[in-house]
Amino acid sequence: MTATLVETTYREALRAALREALSEDERVFLMGEDVGSYGGCFAVSLGLLEEFGPERIRDTPLSESAFVGAGIGAALGGMRPIVEIMTVNFSLLALDQIMNNAASLLHMSGGQFNVPLVIRMTTGAGRQLAAQHSHSLEGWYAHIPGLRILAPATLEDARGMLPTALRDPDPVLIFEHGSLYNMKGTLAADAGAVDIDRAVVRRPGDDVTLITYGGTLGKTLEAADLLAADGISAEVVDLRTLRPLDDETFVGSVRRTHRAVVVDEGWRSGSLSAEISARIMEQALYDLEAPVERVCTAEVPMPYPKHLEDAALPQPDTIAAAARRAMRPVAV
Amino acid sequence: MTATLVETTYREALRAALREALSEDERVFLMGEDVGSYGGCFAVSLGLLEEFGPERIRDTPLSESAFVGAGIGAALGGMRPIVEIMTVNFSLLALDQIMNNAASLLHMSGGQFNVPLVIRMTTGAGRQLAAQHSHSLEGWYAHIPGLRILAPATLEDARGMLPTALRDPDPVLIFEHGSLYNMKGTLAADAGAVDIDRAVVRRPGDDVTLITYGGTLGKTLEAADLLAADGISAEVVDLRTLRPLDDETFVGSVRRTHRAVVVDEGWRSGSLSAEISARIMEQALYDLEAPVERVCTAEVPMPYPKHLEDAALPQPDTIAAAARRAMRPVAV
Amino acid sequence: MNARRAAVAAEPEQSTPEAAHRRELLRTMLLIRRFEEACAELYSAARIRGFVHLYVGEEAVATGVMAALGPDDAVVSTYREHGHALARGLPVDSLMAEMFGKQSGCSGGRGGSMHLFDSSRHFVGGNAVVAAGIPLAIGLALADKLQHRDRVTVCFFGEGAAAEGEFHEALNLATLWRLPVLFCCENNLYAMGTAIAKEHAQTDLALRAESYGLAAWPVDGMDVFAVESAARRAVEAIRGGAGPHFLELRTFRFRAHSMYDPDRYREKVEIEHWKEHDPIDALVATMRAAGQLDDADLEATRDEVAGLVAAAVDAAEAAPIEPVESLTRFVTSDREAEGSRT
Amino acid sequence: MNARRAAVAAEPEQSTPEAAHRRELLRTMLLIRRFEEACAELYSAARIRGFVHLYVGEEAVATGVMAALGPDDAVVSTYREHGHALARGLPVDSLMAEMFGKQSGCSGGRGGSMHLFDSSRHFVGGNAVVAAGIPLAIGLALADKLQHRDRVTVCFFGEGAAAEGEFHEALNLATLWRLPVLFCCENNLYAMGTAIAKEHAQTDLALRAESYGLAAWPVDGMDVFAVESAARRAVEAIRGGAGPHFLELRTFRFRAHSMYDPDRYREKVEIEHWKEHDPIDALVATMRAAGQLDDADLEATRDEVAGLVAAAVDAAEAAPIEPVESLTRFVTSDREAEGSRT
Ligand SMILES: Cc1ncc(C[n+]2csc(CCOP(=O)(O)OP(=O)(O)O)c2C)c(N)n1
Ligand SMILES: Cc1ncc(C[n+]2csc(CCOP(=O)(O)OP(=O)(O)O)c2C)c(N)n1
Ligand SMILES: [Mg+2]
Ligand SMILES: [Mg+2]
């Protein structure tokens, strides 16, 4: 099967997924702040209002809690809503709805009311948006039972995670890293739904496993290049789904390489990297040749200046440095 | 110094701390839902309205975001507000204020505006309050830079953490576990402020370190009794302050015992237990004789029936079982 | 006011449709009352646990509103929802079993008093976060509108809930989008221990609601006829496409906020005053005066509902508990067995 | 409307206090305009980054409101706050340095365009979460009330923010507690790309605000005199103990929402229409007609503010950047050095 490849971007791939979902299923609609006339704050839904009309591309007032709650209600009422929260930073205003309703209704009702809702939002730092607009909270959301958390890091996943998420009977949150929208590349012309159960190895290697997801996949692959130049063969695992985690793939890799670095744009303490590290320790302690390293964001509300933001975030060189530390652990 | 001991309860110790703070500092006031005429939903502030009047024991409408935000504003304006959020479950409604304002203002303003605010709330499960009223999110809050997170587990700490927190120039969140309010015991008649920087060893031991905090300290001490009956000497560390964590105390203990069990009422994935486990691995991997065990809450919105709730939560026997596993690890 | 009603009414036979309907209303209210008295006793006996919020005194509200609904309409409720559930027709047995946390309960025992659900009756649940059901209700109404369904969604909440941000956001959204939703604000003058004047700068909540541009009016919530007719009027208008409506149902809870509450914040005299307007007594008086009810009828109905409740208690006591092995069911729909992959 | 004003006004000398005050207003508005034009250029040149929201067209609002305040009053702002900051008297240098992220900036460079702070001027900051500043403002006012301080806190937000739950909660609380706060709703008809009619069921926001029981009225936000006098009236009433007031300032932004926004959602003709009411042109016309301004004055003022801005840009460019080693400063007040103990 040699599919034709087309040039596209992450943004266009997301839009193609939205367009397909809207075309194929009458129950699907998109709702959120500025998804319509404005075209989406990051232009993801540009043109969809013209194509599908204001009933299905639904601009909302600035009322995160109400329109997320309305998305939950509409899902209960038989629709397949896609709710866009402009960015993860504002999702805190809707967190009660997400945790106490979306994630809990199925259980509280003894299985009677499931919530087939998809929530999309932009996440991450790197664009000098300062303290209130730079959170990476997807790992935090992964703490909540009842949710599925996705982090598309590639064009395939930007194109393919939404259709699979829409088939899920339960709430799915999709986190799109803000730095990826302009990412260019090629995609099969007939690209469609992808699996959302498994992590994947994006680059095979033997000496150390670099585990990451979303916005830091690119930096981690760059780090692998840096390491290759040093003769270190790094395997890069893209988690893809942050809840439920696919332990098998990343633990399996660490069992082979005996060394691991977790790269995570969340603030270090209590980030997803801690959970990954704990699981490796639980499942593969005796395979480890060195402590699992973590490369995370400095524990500081994000500063505006570029040089400070760069210093706060995981970078190819800090990732590579952590991998080198793992290669030469100082025994104590 | 042989201080007189008085019989008291956790609730009374909290109230004594509030009364002292209100008496000693005019800038202190208590604000929240039903702290006044009702006497506090768990009767912590009972009688304080009569003693200090409605300006300083301030009943608020059901408006979590606004009154937490108002607490932040009042702190900026020179007061020392104590804001009570009835329970952690409702704190989600105020989370934007907590993360994006309370925790960030100092940084965003380049050090000009600090927020000397104390927020108290009830946390935890165990009283059959079901899915929306049983969260343990204090470990989750410990992810946020700029906050200090306290979990008083003893009468001394119920009495003494508030005065120290009020002296902190930055926001402090105090999580009171709902199952502790009726805990009885003795306290020095002159008990007062306690340190809020260090974890403490609540029971010394040699074979395994049990690390916990707040509502699960009692169960963990019970587990230590069970273990003692088996001839296993367990050291119990009470974290007390969940952010910043006092690594020295718990890592130091594990260095001696070579085995650790973390007990945490949060849902397992992404709970504070993961961070503790990761730090032990980072700082003491070569001292470990077994994987760090975690005993957490099952990943399910809390069910109402007692037997299911009991099964979902850490219990003395499951904690002891984890410790026994750590004593006899199955090498792989 | 019921006396006045009774006076102007003709004296119909006990067999008229009106009389039959009123007996149905009365039966519902008596059933709610009896159910909750049993709950209070069972709570004291530690057979029921958790938070339990009684509706005693407010029965006319649920009963009147539900009487105006069709079987296809939807209901979103609160944690004080025994009355809503019973008036909506959820079987007493399934409710009592839920109070006991048994698998035969209406939420499989998982919810308890605050989380009663019944999908077959479009009863979308008790919600224990104040005001959090309001956005759900407008979402259900949005789904109906998008699917061109003729359903009305009724959303209950207290006057305390009206101070929450979600109230504001949802009322604006519902009005902006002309959604088929009936907001039923149960104004019982207190939110736990906080009197309405300490909650709201503007205590006329119907007026407040009107400021969003929706039709809103206050209703005597102790008069089941007033409630039913207001609800009918609103439901009809909503079904006709007139957009959301808002009823402020003025009522009072005769008992404490929850079984935990020592009720220190209300004067006895205030409670006694309201008890004089007991909605059941008022209905009984009206029906008696209209010749629609005699002592025997009343006795028989009381006996019937008492029997139902007693049987429900026995059944709930006897019902098996869920096996612990199924603890992690209902976390996700399709991966129930895979508890480990979280 | 300014023409009318001018016609009825007497023709005072250029040296009267009124003329001096008006020249001050004009200078402030010109300074804001010039500052933001420079920001737009610097943004295009990639010297300034992040989100930058321009105030062009709305200058009369900040200028008029600030003119009504004393030095001890407090201001809570939004992410569109260059105008508020300049009108409040923050030095141009410190603002421009902040835009560059330099340590000499008013927030030490940490905040950027959306987070301008100045404790010495009680300027409690730009806030980039819509409506999130409103609760802060009422808290500041509460502190003043509890400490019997004679301060008024002014809180700015847009008409889009009025849809958020926090707006509702805070207006109720402020009114309930009679807090000394002036709510200034800058109604520029759009929230990003969403027109007010798609945001609010009731678009008369002063009317909506009034429903909380506070004094509220609409003001022509393109007329700096109207703004100033409305603000004075409100501030005086608040200082006199009359509780919170609300001004709906009707205005328009001439430029896109932010530097990222291609402004697809507005018709050119709408923008052109509003540009005819440019608040600076209107003020200039009024002053000219009143003999309070001639070409030379205007030129001189323009030159002066252009010079200030140019100097600020040069200084900002030249200022050193903060050393990376101090990255984790300002996370906590007293443990700054201990970056590791988090
Ligand atoms: C968001 C939130 N805050 C606080 C509570 C605790 N609480 C439960 S019921 C209640 C009072 C609600 O009053 P009202 O809305 O008037 O309803 P009522 O109980 O009077 O029927 C409070 C404060 C809660 N459940 N949810
Ligand atoms: C809670 C929240 N939601 C969304 C955004 C993104 N956002 C920034 S400004 C804005 C529009 C706000 O409009 P308005 O309140 O009218 O103020 P204006 O920008 O017109 O001055 C939006 C949607 C945000 N910053 N915060
Ligand atoms: Mg009430
Ligand atoms: Mg606007």
Q: Which CATH architecture has domain B200-327?
A: 3-Layer(aba) Sandwich (3.40)
Note whether C185 and C247 are within 8 A (CB). yes
CA C337 – CA C326 distance, rounded (Å): 9
Strand bridging mode C194-195 / C190-191 = antiparallel
CA neighbor of D45 nearest in space, from D57, D34, D37: D37
Q: How far is Cα D340 from Cα C271, in angstroms, rounded to an integer?
A: 58
- Touching check for D46 and chain A: CB below 8 Å? no
Nearest in space to A122 (alpha carbons), one of A107, A106, A109, A133: A133
Report residue A293: phi and psi, to 5°: -90, 150
Note whether residue C258 is domain-resident. yes
Under the banding of pLDDT at 50, 70 and 90, the label for residue A108 is very high
CA-to-CA distance for A259 and C50, rounded, in angstroms?
A: 48
C176-234 pLDDT, tens digit per residue, is 999 999 999 999 999 999 999 999 999 999 999 999 999 999 999 999 999 999 999 99
Q: Report CB contact under 8 Å: B61, D107.
A: no
Task: Check residue D339 and give its pLDDT.
Answer: 39
Q: Chain A window 61-120: which residues touch C at a Cβ cutoff of 8 Å?
A: 61, 63, 65-79, 81, 96-97, 100-101, 105-114
Rounded Cα gap, residues A319 and A61, in angstroms:
41
Task: Please indicate, yes or no, if residue C141 is contained in any of the structural domains.
Answer: yes
Amino acid at D178: R
Q: What is the pLDDT of residues D277-304, one digit of tens each?
A: 999 999 999 999 999 999 999 999 999 9
- Which are the catalytic amino acids of B? 64, 133
Are the C-beta atoms of residues A232 and A207 closer than 8 Å to each other? yes
Would the CB atoms of D118 and B112 count as touching at under 8 Å? yes
pLDDT tens digits, one per residue of A247-274: 999 999 999 999 999 999 999 999 999 9
* pLDDT band, very low/low/confident/very high, at B1 (cuts 50, 70, 90): low
Strand partners, B200: B238
For residue C339, being part of any structural domain is answered with no
C-alpha–C-alpha distance, residues C221 and C59, integer Å: 9
Tell me: the pLDDT tens digits for D3-15?
A: 444 444 444 567 8
Amino acid at D131: A
- The DSSP secondary-structure symbol of D117 reads -
A38, C102 contact by CB (below 8 A)? no
CB of A84 sitting under 6 A from ligand 2: no
Judged by DSSP in three states, B293 sits in: strand
Mutation pick from D159, D168, D181, D198 vs chain C, by most beta carbons of C within 10 Å, is D168
Q: Are D106 and D117 in contact (CB under 8 A)?
A: yes
Which of D201, D210, D212 is closest, CB to CB, to C213?
Answer: D201
- Backbone angles phi and psi of D76, in degrees to 5: -115, 130
Exposure of C184 by Cβ count < 10 A (0-12 exposed, 13-18 middle, 19+ buried)?
A: buried
pLDDT score recorded for residue B129: 97
> d(Cα D340, Cα C226) in Å, to the nearest integer?
66
Measure the CA–CA gap between B48 and B53, rounded to whole angstroms. Answer: 8
Nearest Cβ partner for D201 among C163, C166, C172? C172
Is C105 a domain residue? yes
Note whether D193 contacts A128, CB cutoff 8 Å. no
For position B29, what pLDDT does the model report?
98
CA of D162 to the centre of ligand 2 (A): 10
The closest CB to that of C117, out of A75, A112, A246, belongs to A112
Which chain C residues touch B311 with a CB distance below 8 Å?
324, 327
- Find the A35 Cα to ligand 1 centroid distance in Å: 34
From edge to edge, which strands make up the β-sheet containing B293-297?
B200-203, B234-238, B208-212, B260-267, B293-297
> Are the C-beta atoms of B136 and B125 separated by less than 8 Å?
yes
Which residue, among D75, D120, D142, D147, would best test binding to B if mutated, counting the most B CBs under 10 Å from its CB? D142
Q: Does D221 score more than 50 pLDDT?
A: yes
Mean pLDDT of chain D: 94
Q: How far does CA C107 lie from the centroid of its chain? A: 17
* pLDDT tens column, C148-192: 999 999 999 999 999 999 999 999 999 999 999 999 999 999 999
d(CA A17, CA A156): 10
Q: Which ligand is nearest to the CA of C255?
A: 1
Question: Which is more confident, D174 or B2?
Answer: D174
Rg for chain C, CA atoms, rounded: 20
A283-298 per-position pLDDT tens digit = 999 999 999 999 999 9
**Cβ pair D136:B169 closer than 8 A:** no
Six-digit token string for C145:
């509108």
CATH number at residue C103: 3.40.50.970
Q: Is D327 in the pocket of ligand 2 (CB under 6 A)?
A: no
pLDDT, tens digit, for every residue of A35-84?
999 999 999 999 999 999 999 999 999 999 999 999 999 999 999 999 99
Average pLDDT of chain B, as a whole number:
97
Q: Could you give the CA distance from residue D300 to residue C265 in angstroms, rounded to a whole number?
A: 68
pLDDT the model gives residue A3: 75
Q: Chain B residues with CB inside 8 Å of C128's CB?
A: 129-130, 132-133
Q: How many CB atoms lie within 10 A of CB D20?
A: 12
> How far apart are the C-alpha atoms of D47 and A322, rounded to whole Å?
33
Q: Tell me the β-bridge partners of D191.
A: D194
Q: Is residue D21 part of a domain?
A: yes
Nearest-CB residue to A65 (from D165, D321, D324): D165
- The CB-side HSE value for B308 (13 A sphere, CA atoms) comes to 29
Distance CA B104, CA D54 (A): 24
With respect to residue D60, please indicate whether it lies within any of the assigned structural domains.
yes
Q: For residue B310, give the chain C residue with the closest CA.
A: C324
Contacts with D212 from chain C: Cβ below 8 Å = 201-202, 208
Measuring CA to CA, which residue among B97, B103, B68 is closest to residue B82?
B68
Q: Which long-range contacts (CB under 8 A, 24 or more apart) does D86-89 make?
A: D86/D28, D86/D31, D86/D32, D86/D35, D86/D62, D87/D28, D87/D32, D87/D62, D87/D63, D88/D62, D88/D118, D88/D121, D88/D123, D89/D121
Q: Do domains B5-188 and B200-327 have the same CATH topology?
A: yes
Give the residue numbers spanning the domain of C57: 16-308
Beta-bridge mates of residue A293: A261
**Res. B293 pLDDT band, cuts 50 70 90:** very high
- The residue extents of the domains of chain A are 5-188, 200-327
pLDDT of residue C260: 84
Q: Do B79 and D142 touch (CB under 8 A)?
A: yes
Classify the phi-psi angles of D323: left when phi > 0, otherwise alpha if psi is within -120 to 50, otherwise beta. beta
In chain B the first and final C-alpha atoms are separated, in Å, by: 53
Query: According to the CATH classification, is domain A5-188 in 3.40.50.970?
Result: yes
CB within 5 A of ion ligand 4: which residues?
Answer: D 158-160, 188, 191
Helix or strand or coil: residue C156? strand
Chain C: give the shortest CA distance to residue B86, in Å: 11
With a 6 Å cutoff on the Cβ, whether D192 touches ligand 2 is yes
Q: Spell out the per-residue pLDDT of chain C, length 342, in tens.
A: 444 444 444 445 678 999 999 999 999 999 999 999 999 999 999 999 999 999 999 999 999 999 999 999 999 999 999 999 999 999 999 999 999 999 999 999 999 999 999 999 999 999 999 999 999 999 999 999 999 999 999 999 999 999 999 999 999 999 999 999 999 999 999 999 999 999 999 999 999 999 999 999 999 999 999 999 999 999 999 999 999 999 999 999 999 999 889 999 999 999 999 999 999 999 999 999 999 999 999 999 999 999 999 999 999 999 999 999 999 999 999 654 443 333
Whole-number pLDDT of residue B270:
98
User: Catalytic residue among A33, A84, A133, A293, which?
Assistant: A133
Residue B320 corresponds to which tokens in the numbers above?
A: 């002891």
For residue A109, what is the nearest residue in chain C, using CA coordinates?
Answer: C107
DSSP states along C128-154 = -STTTHHHHHHHHHHHHHHTT----EE
User: How does residue A331 score in pLDDT terms, banded at 50, 70 and 90?
Assistant: low
